[in-house]
Amino acid sequence: MTIALGEIATRFGCEIAGDPRIAIKSVAALSNASEGTISFFANTAHISALKSTGASAVILRRGDVDQCPVNALISSNPYLTYARVAELLHPDPVFDPGIHRSATIHETAVIHKTAHVAANVFIDADCIIDEGAYVGPGAVVGPRCHIGELSRILANVTVVQDVTIGKRSIVHPGAVIGSDGFGNAMSDSGWVKVRQIGGVKIGDDVEIGCNTTIDRGAIGDTIIENGVRLDNLIQIAHNVHIGEHTAMAGMTGIAGSAIIGKRCLFAGRAGSVGHVTICDDVIVSASSYISKDIKEPGVYTGSFPAEKDKIWKRKAARFRRIDDMVLRISELEKKRE
């Protein structure tokens, strides 16, 4: 798609500093842009890339216009405007409606005539696949699942059973949704499996990353509210409840029955133990985990970044003798008196 800069400006309510007639075909990074591309500048760390950019236009804040050697599209939130421009220039692929001849569909499943069911898909009993939904190659949708309008279940995903997915949600390849939670009761002769009989309810505009796993509830449902974003290789255990617009980066893990608020952010490999309640607007730092209820919004951290091994080992050795340090201080205080 090619579109004039002026039309982009009109569409997204931005001002232009430069020529509205130039043609834009694609987005690009500042440092690797060529004619016909539009880039964005939001972080002063990239100022030299801005100054030497080959892009035909750059989305940036009003205060940065003077630094921009090319046409500027002025936005109070350049990254958000960039997201919208990228969506316009690079729309989702369009899928032909229909069911691939190699797909196997249970006779009780209802597939909307505008939905696309790809090769080697298996859809089980009592499923509903709504208008414009997409089920990718190799995906398996188990019994009693509902895939909402325009949602996309990508390649090799498994939606196990009793899963409801809202509208416009995306499940990336390899994810598994609705599998049994980890429930075991110890008996004299070993573990007895605790039947998991709940489901999973996923809202609208949710995105679930590759190979992420979301278990169904033990009793009752695991719930992912509207607008939640989960990256790759995340584990969401049974009966977890994640509030609207919370985003979790790769490898985050949430243990069973944790209740996570709205608009929380979990950095990479963050997590939470089970059976805790975390309020809205909590940020958990990389490699840190929450161990108890959190009632105040803010940033929470509990990890040490790596440093030179020799230095770390010396400190760690000191830490192992921290008791001794405290004793020595007490001893000094006693003598002092």
**Is 238 an active-site residue?**
yes
Rounded Cα gap, residues 159 and 133, in angstroms = 14
Number of other CB atoms surrounding residue 305 within 10 Å:
7
Distance in angstroms (rounded) separating the CA atoms of residues 266 and 247:
6
Residue 11, number of CB atoms within 10 A of its CB: 12
Q: Is 302 in the site for a second copy (CB under 8 A)?
A: yes
Contact 231, 250 (CB under 8 A): yes
Show the tokens assigned to 59. Answer: 């989305």
117 binds a second copy (CB under 8 A): no
Among positions 231-290, residues that touch a second copy (CB under 8 A) are: 231-233, 235, 237, 244-245, 247, 249-251, 253, 255, 268-269, 271, 273, 283-290
We find the least distance from the C-beta atom of residue 306 to a second copy, in angstroms, to be: 4
Tell me: does residue 309 bind a second copy (CB under 8 A): yes
Q: According to CB under 8 A, which residues from 316 to 335 bind a second copy?
A: 316, 318-320, 322-323, 325-326, 328-329, 332-333, 335
Q: Which of 132, 227, 243, 261 binds a second copy (CB under 8 A)?
A: 227
- Contacts to a second copy from residues 43-82, by CB under 8 A: 77, 79-80, 82
Among 159, 158, 155, 153, CA closest to 171: 153
Q: How far is the CB of 29 from a second copy (least distance, A)?
A: 5
Residues 158-197 that bind a second copy (CB under 8 A): 158, 160, 170, 172-174, 176, 179-180, 182-187, 190-195, 197
Cα(163)–Cα(229) distance, rounded to whole angstroms? 17
Which of 168, 169, 256, 275 is CA-nearest to residue 216? 256
Dig out the tokens for 129 from the structure. 């696949």
Binders in 18-37 for a second copy, by CB under 8 A: 26-29, 32
Query: Please, what is the minimum distance in Å from the beta carbon of residue 3 to a second copy?
Result: 15
Q: Which of 16, 86, 110, 279 binds a second copy (CB under 8 A)?
A: 86
Q: Which residue among 146, 172, 238, 245 is the active-site one?
A: 238
* Both structure tokens of 152: 């996309």
- The span from the CA of 244 to the CA of 255, in Å, is 18
CB under 8 A: which stretch of 15-23, 64-72, 127-135, 301-309 binds a second copy? 301-309
Calculate the alpha carbon distances from 147 to 161, 209, 226 in Å. 12, 17, 14
Residues 126-145 that bind a second copy (CB under 8 A): 136-138, 140, 142-143
Active-site positions read 238
